[in-house]
């Protein structure tokens, strides 16, 4: 393979998703300085569009430099101090990763667990909060990419806030493709990634902090352990304030251009229409797979990430290899306890189309013959 010109793939795995040509062209715009007035205008527009996509009025909404996991670390390092108690919901790889990250921040983490493919029930969290009254925050994954499980969030904040804790949400695989209402649902801090339903290259992690989260950060007794992700400094760059913009680190200028264009595309389509499209394509794929005798693993499936059982007798790696080599289609393997048992088909953002659904169904039928 000529590594200067990699082959184009149809990205129907767990991410990244296909990137529109408009977004790729935006990457090639002239690089500016990170304090150039033109760039600051573009960055401010990105932050405002992110508020619209998150459905929030949070002033501190911005893209962290780094992929989705930088967003997870940013939330954790800023809200947690050594010795804090937190509850983390674990029903897949990314709930487990959130637990790991928060433990690395010095927290005592109480895990609320569900079987992989299941969702966390409200009464499980209620019981954990009663058992651990000093809990500072509850972390939960809205879209568990490893299992395709779609976690309901309505009503969770009321319970968590009644115990004086914050609600922290991982929305890496749902932002821009699933219903997500930060303010209405009472979410205090949330993070995502650009490379899933926003159909932007990986490299930025949108985050948003509400007033409760800001109050916790302002009351810290210790320095944030990560200099790079310290929001007490980053907010002076992203929001400015009376003292003007304060340099922190060189922002990824051209990636900000790309996200600006990707968010433009989202809002041009309309958030409600985009969410409806993801649901429609999920149902189209689901009908085709079930007609082939292939079943879904999660009881409550994401529209953006379809986690299915590998049919009996099918060659896991061999099937994925043939899809890639013969059809140029990438789908994902199973993660963790689902390795060798599941395939993950992403229908995210620009890739969530009838053409791609019908193509992957046809290719799978041929390969599975």
Tokens linked to 130: 């009663």
| Location of structure tokens 């990205």 | 11
**Under 8 Å between Cβ of 80 and 87:** no
In which band, very low, low, confident or very high, does the pLDDT at 187 lie, cut at 50, 70 and 90? very high
pLDDT (average), residues 167-195: 98
Dihedral class, residue 15 (left if φ above 0, else alpha if ψ from -120 to 50, else beta)? left
| Location of structure tokens 């809205």 | 142
CA dist 322 and 338 (Å) reads 21
Query: What are 14-48's pLDDT values in tens digits?
Result: 999 999 999 999 999 999 999 999 999 999 999 99
Dihedral class, residue 106 (left if φ above 0, else alpha if ψ from -120 to 50, else beta)? left
In which band, very low, low, confident or very high, does the pLDDT at 281 lie, cut at 50, 70 and 90? very high
The set of residues, in sequence order, having a beta carbon less than 8 Å from that of 145 and lying 6+ positions away, is 14, 15, 92, 93, 94, 172, 173, 305, 344
State whether residue 31 is helix, strand or coil. Answer: coil
**Under 8 Å between Cβ of 116 and 145:** no
Q: Which pLDDT score is estimated for 107?
A: 98
Mean pLDDT of the chain: 96
Give the N- to C-terminal CA distance of the chain in Å, as an integer.
Answer: 29
Query: What are 297-346's pLDDT values in tens digits?
Result: 999 999 999 999 999 999 999 999 999 999 999 999 999 999 999 999 99
Q: Which pLDDT score is estimated for 245?
A: 86
CA dist 307 and 296 (Å) reads 6
Tokens linked to 200: 């932007």
Total residue count of the chain as it appears in this document: 369
CA dist 184 and 363 (Å) reads 41
Exposed / middle / buried, residue 355 (Cβ in 10 Å: 0-12, 13-18, 19+) = exposed
pLDDT over threshold 90, residue 294 = yes
Measuring CA to CA, which residue among 225, 176, 241 is closest to residue 15?
176
CATH 3.40.640.10 domain position(s) in the chain:
21-267
Q: Which pLDDT score is estimated for 244?
A: 74
pLDDT over threshold 80, residue 111 = yes
Query: What are 49-76's pLDDT values in tens digits?
Result: 999 999 999 999 999 999 999 999 999 9
The set of residues, in sequence order, having a beta carbon less than 8 Å from that of 52 and lying 6+ positions away, is 267, 271
Fold of the domain built from segment(s) 10-16+271-368: 3.90.1150
In which band, very low, low, confident or very high, does the pLDDT at 1 lie, cut at 50, 70 and 90? low
**Under 8 Å between Cβ of 323 and 363:** yes
Percent of the chain scoring above 90 in pLDDT: 96
Measuring CA to CA, which residue among 87, 141, 144, 153 is closest to residue 116?
144
| Phi, psi of 333, deg, nearest 5 | -85, 175
| Phi, psi of 129, deg, nearest 5 | -65, -35
Q: Which pLDDT score is estimated for 15?
A: 96
Q: State the DSSP H helix or E strand holding residue 11, giving kind and residue range, or none if neither.
A: strand 10-11
Measuring CA to CA, which residue among 237, 225, 198, 258 is closest to residue 21?
258
Q: Which pLDDT score is estimated for 242?
A: 57
CATH 3.90.1150.10 domain position(s) in the chain:
10-16+271-368
Q: Which pLDDT score is estimated for 5?
A: 80
CA dist 27 and 77 (Å) reads 30
Total-model pTM:
0.96
**Under 8 Å between Cβ of 66 and 204:** yes
The CATH number of the domain covering residues in 21-267: 3.40.640.10
In which band, very low, low, confident or very high, does the pLDDT at 239 lie, cut at 50, 70 and 90? confident
pLDDT (average), residues 159-169: 98
Percent of the chain scoring above 70 in pLDDT: 98
The set of residues, in sequence order, having a beta carbon less than 8 Å from that of 215 and lying 6+ positions away, is none
Q: Which pLDDT score is estimated for 3?
A: 64
């Amino acid at each position: 393979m000529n590594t200067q010109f990699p082959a184009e793939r149809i990205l129907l795995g767990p991410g990244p998703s296909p990137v529109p040509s408009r977004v790729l062209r935006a990457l090639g715009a002239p690089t500016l300085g990170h304090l150039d007035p033109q760039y600051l205008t573009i960055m401010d527009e990105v932050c405002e569009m992110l508020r619209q996509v998150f459905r929030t009025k949070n002033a501190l909404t911005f893209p962290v430099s780094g992929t989705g996991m930088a967003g997870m670390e940013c939330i954790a390092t800023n809200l947690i101090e050594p010795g804090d108690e937190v509850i983390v919901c674990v029903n897949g790889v990314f709930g487990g990763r959130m637990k790991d990250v928060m433990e690395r921040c010095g927290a005592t983490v109480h895990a609320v667990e569900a079987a992989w493919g299941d969702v966390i029930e409200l009464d499980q969290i209620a019981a954990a909060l009663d058992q651990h009254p000093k809990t500072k925050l509850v972390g939960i994954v809205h879209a568990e990419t490893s299992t395709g499980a779609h976690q309901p969030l309505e009503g969770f904040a009321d319970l968590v806030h009644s115990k004086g804790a914050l609600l922290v949400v991982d929305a890496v695989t749902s932002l821009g493709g699933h219903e997500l209402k930060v303010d209405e649902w009472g979410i205090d801090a949330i993070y995502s990634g650009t490379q899933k339903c926003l159909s932007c290259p990986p490299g930025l992690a949108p985050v948003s902090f509400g007033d409760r989260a800001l109050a916790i950060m302002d009351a810290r007794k210790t320095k944030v352990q990560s200099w790079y992700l310290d929001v007490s400094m980053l907010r002076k760059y992203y929001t400015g304030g009376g003292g003007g913009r304060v340099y922190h680190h060189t922002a990824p200028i051209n990636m900000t251009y790309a996200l600006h264009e990707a968010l433009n595309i989202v809002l041009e389509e309309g958030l409600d229409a985009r969410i409806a499209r993801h649901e429609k394509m999920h149902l189209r794929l689901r009908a085709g797979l079930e007609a082939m005798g292939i079943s879904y693993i999660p009881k409550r499936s994401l529209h953006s990430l379809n986690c299915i059982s590998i049919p009996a007798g099918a060659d896991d790696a061999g099937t994925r290899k043939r899809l890639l080599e013969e059809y140029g289609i990438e789908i994902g393997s199973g993660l963790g306890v689902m390795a060798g048992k599941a395939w993950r088909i992403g229908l995210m953002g620009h890739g969530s189309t009838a053409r791609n659904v019908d193509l992957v169904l046809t290719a799978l039928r041929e390969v599975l013959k």
